[in-house]
Amino acid sequence: SQNIYILGIESSCDDTAAAVLHNGKILSNIVATQEVHKQYGGVVPELASRAHQQNIVPVIHQAIARANIGKKDISAIAFTRGPGLMGSLLVGTSFAKSLSLGLGIPLIEVNHMQAHILAHFIEEEHFKKPTFPFLALTISGGHTQIVKVSNYFEMEVIGETTDDAVGEAFDKSAKILGLPYPGGPLIDKYSKEGNPKAFPFPNPKVPDLNFSFSGFKTSVLYFIQKQTKENPDFVAENLKDICASIQFSIVRILMDKLKKAVKQTGINQIAIAGGVSANSEIRNALMEAEKKYSWNCFIPKFEYTTDNAAMIAIAGHYKYLEKDFSDYSITAQPRYKF
Ligand code: KG4
Ligand code: ZN
């Protein structure tokens, strides 16, 4: 049997990450999260590229060392071509090309959004993998998509956001409440002790399987402004209930569209992916749907939900099997679609 070692490199946004997979199993998975953006309340692209430049070699070095292999053992280099921030992608793309040339091994480009979905195929004990076809709900700070997945690289976006991503809805709502960036995990945390029905937020009417979150954010803003005018301590006094209500409303929007997608496609296998899939309420809602509608749901391990390089490496692994290699003239693609 073949021994395939893939080095994955991820640098699309504000995490510099590298991972080594052996036949689809993780040997190492290193993520350097950039703390510099916290004080700005969001990712500053210029600072992100600089931090990638600083971190990329140490992170890759650490990934190879932890995997306990030599550079000469690596079969191929997989890297994120896009979508993402141009300056960030350039660092990973250029480095991946150079390393591939230097080691004389194949170069494999990976679409970040496909990789989020393919994270479900990392070899893990006690984790069942989805079978084709399935629906993927990809929810992150940059994207909100429902994808029909017919095979590893045969994917079709059947619904997506027309404006903000769901992660932005979480983060911007959190900002309105005065919480630091990224606010999604904090809303999740405070929601655990709040009443989700305390303050109803509207479910925006969006056609087909598409989403819109900019109106949602505005409704949160107006609501808070109005309440604060009457009671300046409104947020402080009701933080948990406000968070729980926001989270409940966002998850309801996602679940309503998923139900519609299941009805339309006849596919009831659902996998969630992306940073927001760490959210406890969406996880609960899916587990309930398994019972209520006999869906078959796939929820990833926490370390594969947010940006990481193991997902890039597993996508690279399946491309390696197909000998789907990239040319050295390949460029970063900030708006990479599939
Ligand atoms: O996939 P990701 O790490 O980066 C992007 O590609 O965007 O996703 C980051 C997003 C942020 O908006 C963050 O607030 C959100 O995922 N997030 C959460 C939770 N954990 C991360 N949102 C809600 N609840 C969570 N537990
Ligand atoms: Zn991502």
Dihedral sign for Cα atoms in the order 289, 293, 211, 199: negative
Q: Is the CB of 164 under 6 A from ligand 1?
A: no
Task: Say how many Å lie between the CA of residue 311 and the centre of ligand 2.
Answer: 10
Q: Which atom of ligand 1 is nearest to the CA of 112?
A: 6
User: Does residue 248 belong to any structural domain of this protein?
Assistant: yes
Would you write out the chain's pLDDT as a tens digit for each of its 338 residues? Answer: 689 999 999 999 989 999 999 999 999 999 998 888 877 877 888 899 999 999 999 999 999 999 999 999 999 999 999 999 999 999 999 999 999 999 999 999 999 999 999 999 999 988 889 999 999 999 999 899 999 999 999 999 999 999 999 999 999 999 999 999 889 999 999 999 999 999 999 888 999 999 999 999 999 999 999 999 999 999 999 999 999 999 999 999 999 999 999 999 999 999 999 999 999 999 999 999 999 999 999 999 988 999 999 999 999 999 999 999 999 999 999 999 98
Ligand 1 close to Cβ of residue 142 (< 6 A): yes
Contact status, residue 104 vs residue 76, Cβ threshold 8 Å: no
Report residue 123 as tokens.
């070899």
State whether 86 and 146 are in the same domain.
no
Is there a single domain that holds both residue 273 and residue 230?
Answer: yes
In this predicted model, what pLDDT tens digit does every residue of 10-45 receive, in sequence order? 999 989 999 999 999 999 999 998 888 877 877 888
| CA distances for 38 relative to 32, 41, 69, 168, 296, angstroms | 14, 5, 35, 15, 37
Euclidean distance between CA atoms 86 and 89, whole angstroms: 5
Which contiguous run of DSSP H or E holds residue 272? strand 269-273
Q: What single-letter DSSP state applies at residue 201?
A: -
How buried is residue 13: exposed, middle or buried, by Cβ count under 10 Å (0-12/13-18/19+)?
buried
Annotated binding residue at 167? no
Q: Are residues 90 and 178 in the same domain?
A: no
Residue 331 lies in a domain: no
Question: What pLDDT shows up at residue 40?
Answer: 80
Please indicate, yes or no, if residue 112 is contained in any of the structural domains. yes
Reference 39, options 181, 240, 239, 142; nearest CA is: 181
218 and 286 housed in the same domain: yes
| Closest ligand 1 atom, residue 307 Cα | 3
> pLDDT at position 127, please?
86
- Residue 97 and residue 168 in one domain: no
CA of 72 to the centre of ligand 1 (A): 36
Rg value, the chain, Cα: 20
pLDDT of residue 35: 83
Between the CA of 193 and the centroid of ligand 1 the distance, in Å, is 20
Residues 160 and 283 grouped into a single domain: yes
| Sign of CA pseudo-dihedral 43, 47, 53, 57 | negative
Residue 152 lies in a domain: yes
Asked if residue 146 and residue 70 are part of one domain, the reply reads no
Atom 19 of ligand 1: nearest residue by CA position: 185
Buried b / exposed e along 57-86 (16+ C-beta atoms within 10 A): eebbeebbebbebeeeebbbbbbbbbbbbe
Interval between CA 328 and ligand 1 midpoint (Å): 33
Query: Would you say 87 is a known binding-site residue?
Result: no
- Domain holding 269: CATH number? 3.30.420.40
Residue nearest to atom 3 of ligand 1 (CA): 306
Pocket mutation for ligand 1, best pick of 170, 277, 308 (most atoms within 8 Å of C-beta): 170
The ligand minimizing its distance to the Cα of 277 is 1
Cα of 183 vs centre of ligand 1, distance in Å, is 9
31 lines ligand 1 (CB under 6 A): no
How is 36-100 classified by DSSP, letter by letter? GGGGGTS--HHHHHHHHHHHHHHHHHHHHHHHT--GGG--EEEEEEESS-HHHHHHHHHHHHHHH
Q: Which residues pair with 19 in a beta bridge?
A: 8, 29
Is any atom of ligand 1 closer than 6 Å to the C-beta of 140?
A: yes
The number of domains in the chain is: 2
**pLDDT for the residue 43:** 83
Residues 179 and 106 in one domain: no
116: annotated binding-site residue? yes
Half-sphere exposure of 101 (CA within 13 A, CB side): 9
21, 26, 28 from 67: Cα distances, Å = 8, 8, 5
pLDDT in tens, 155-197: 999 999 999 999 999 999 999 999 998 899 999 999 999 999 9
- 279 membership: H or E segment, kind and range: none
281 lines ligand 1 (CB under 6 A): no
Phi first, then psi, for residue 319 (nearest 5°) are -70, -35
112 is in an annotated binding site: yes
First to last CA, the chain: 32
Residue 326 located in a structural domain:
no
Q: Does residue 138 share a domain with residue 53?
A: no
Query: What domain range includes position 47?
Result: 5-121+305-321
**Ligand 1: which residue has its CA nearest to atom 22?**
184
Residue nearest to atom 2 of ligand 1 (CA): 275
pLDDT at 194: 98
Tokens coding 122: 């990392």
**Is 282 found in the same domain as 147?**
yes
Alpha carbon of 139 to ligand 1 centroid (Å): 8
Torsion from C-alpha of 187, 191, 197, 198, nearest 10 degrees: -80
